[in-house]
Structure 1
Amino acid sequence: MSVVDQIQSINKELENTQAKLIAVSKTKPNELIIEAYEHGHRAFGENKVQELVDKASELPKDIEWHMIGHLQRNKVKYIAPFVHLIHGVDTIKLLKEINKEGRKNNRTIPCLLQVHIAEESTKFGFSEDEIEEFLKSGQLGEFEHVVIVGLMGMATNTSNESQVKKEFAGLKSFYETIKTKYSHPQFDLKEISMGMSGDYRIAVKEGSTIVRIGSTIFGARNYAK
């Protein structure tokens, strides 16, 4: 199947659900992104800042660029002028940097807080307790140039579907808890980003509003220089 066929197939699956598709185009050439763009797809995800900046400069300006990878503080300045959503905010220090660059660019930058839901220690993210502590602390008032619009989580890389289901269900439950418990102008939960090529169907059933799908659409990643 072509890139366009794959996107159309996944979008058909997502009909009558709350989830929308981010096509993860990392390591893929601009030609494939343009192919999808010309058939109406606008939301693309990248995990490397330099690749994201290069593509954003070369491709149509109405593309919604999602930063889905681990983001280093010293690289926030490069994407702050245009990024649509930062999925992986995993420390308060990073949030402060995003706020600083948002101020410089006269923007309020939408962010998701990444929650560590997997059993793998290699995954990044806050614990639920750390997020609650932050929300209770009143620090959010210092962040006028960010808005936290939701949560993101990555399940354990396992074939055990019941474990993946449990992790996604746990994140959705936490999302619902803090959504009703805390109110602040910079805290407006609408999105829960969970689910990739291998587990997005489970994620959608558990309430995901954003699925990040790359290899199913574009084929295996190409890391060759």
Structure 2
Amino acid sequence: MTAQASAQEPAAAAAAPKVSVADGIKDVMRRIEEASQRSGNKRTRLVAVGKTKPLEAVLEAYQVGHRSFGENYVQEIVEKAGKAPEDIQWHFIGHLQSNKAKALLQGVPNLYMLETVDTTKLADRLNRICGELGRETPLRVLVQVNTSGEESKHGVEPSEVTALAAHISGSCPNLEMAGFMTIGMPDYTSKPENFTCLKECRRKAAAELGLDESELELSMGMSGDFEAAIEMGSTNIRVGSTIFGARIYPNKK
């Protein structure tokens, strides 16, 4: 390769047309359908994660009929929800500090699901605030499970899952115990035990709560592993960069 050709490559890459958000949604939906056909799993919901992306990108997906969106940060989801159509089903998928629970629930009155409950303290606070705000329907919550054992990840230990699920179900009338969520290791494709672990947590909790396993959701699978997650029974996948492009974070000072 000549130096001239090498120098031209960045410019050529920059000039290449960007894939639109609408095309990203369509491509992911196609891959969901193919994975569902392989596994027989017909229940998967796509949560399009707009983390760090402008509201305009979310609305581009909305214009092609998508309605389920996820955000990681309280301030960001509050700002977007305040300007977005009311029929969007918002999912909060980031770690939630107890002292920010009220800001989240006040700022996003149509919050559809909170996927990251990992302590009884947080569950109790959410339950109390939902009551104070007069929320008409119970808030759907998932118990986040740390299935990989990585210290960098939030979530309850697998051995403590059933106790937390039982607490939410029995002591938090303003919450609906809807299922379980995990973040698999980056090399999930060769190590499926993270998702297997979440399925086992659901099995044990369902037996304790007297529920059929199908009544409890499994939120597992992101951009790099959502097809494998669907094949293992995921009912809820969280996909961001594959739809919206790589995230750009501001420089931290």
TM-score, normalisation: structure 2: 0.81
Query: 2:132 is matched with which residue: 94, 104, 112?
Result: 104
Measured in 2, the distance between the counterparts of 1:190 and 1:208 equals 11
Measured in 2, the distance between the counterparts of 1:177 and 1:198 equals 28
Measured in 1, the distance between the counterparts of 2:168 and 2:139 equals 17
Unmatched 5+ stretches in structure 1 = none
Q: 2:49 aligned with 1:19, yes or no?
A: no
Q: Deviations over 1:153-199 (max 9, x none)?
A: 111223x5221x12112211221232233138xxx943110011111
What is the RMSD of the two structures over their aligned residues, measured on CA atoms?
A: 2.0
Unmatched 5+ stretches in structure 2 = 1-18, 37-41
Residues 202 and 216 of structure 2 are in contact (CA less than 8 Å); yes or no, is this contact kept in structure 1? no
Measured in 1, the distance between the counterparts of 2:189 and 2:48 equals 23
Measured in 2, the distance between the counterparts of 1:135 and 1:78 equals 24
> 1:29–1:144: structure 2 CA closer, same or farther, 3 Å change rule?
same
Query: 1:114 is matched with which residue: 144, 165, 180?
Result: 144
Q: 2:178 aligned with 1:153, yes or no?
A: no
Measured in 2, the distance between the counterparts of 1:134 and 1:50 equals 27
Which has more radius of gyration? Answer: 2
Residues 123 and 168 of structure 2 are in contact (CA less than 8 Å); yes or no, is this contact kept in structure 1? no
Residues 14 and 20 of structure 1 are in contact (CA less than 8 Å); yes or no, is this contact kept in structure 2? no
Deviating 4+ runs (over 4 angstroms): none
Going by fraction, where is helix more abundant, 1 or 2?
Answer: 2
Q: Share of identical aligned residues, percent?
A: 39
Q: Which moved more, 1:5-14 or 1:22-31?
A: 5-14
Query: 2:196 is matched with which residue: 137, 158, 169?
Result: 169
> 1:58–1:118: structure 2 CA closer, same or farther, 3 Å change rule?
same
1:75: how far off?
1.0
Residues 49 and 238 of structure 2 are in contact (CA less than 8 Å); yes or no, is this contact kept in structure 1? yes
Matches within 5 A, 1:1-225: 1-15=19-33, 16=36, 17-80=42-105, 81-107=109-135, 108-135=138-165, 140-158=169-187, 161-163=189-191, 165-183=192-210, 189-224=215-250
> 1:134–1:57: structure 2 CA closer, same or farther, 3 Å change rule?
closer
Measured in 2, the distance between the counterparts of 1:140 and 1:179 equals 11
Measured in 2, the distance between the counterparts of 1:173 and 1:215 equals 29
2:197 is paired with a residue whose SS is helix
Residues 49 and 75 of structure 1 are in contact (CA less than 8 Å); yes or no, is this contact kept in structure 2? yes
> 1:200–1:141: structure 2 CA closer, same or farther, 3 Å change rule?
same
Residues 119 and 156 of structure 1 are in contact (CA less than 8 Å); yes or no, is this contact kept in structure 2? no
TM-score, normalisation: structure 1: 0.90
* Aligned residue identity for 1:174: C
Residues 169 and 176 of structure 2 are in contact (CA less than 8 Å); yes or no, is this contact kept in structure 1? no
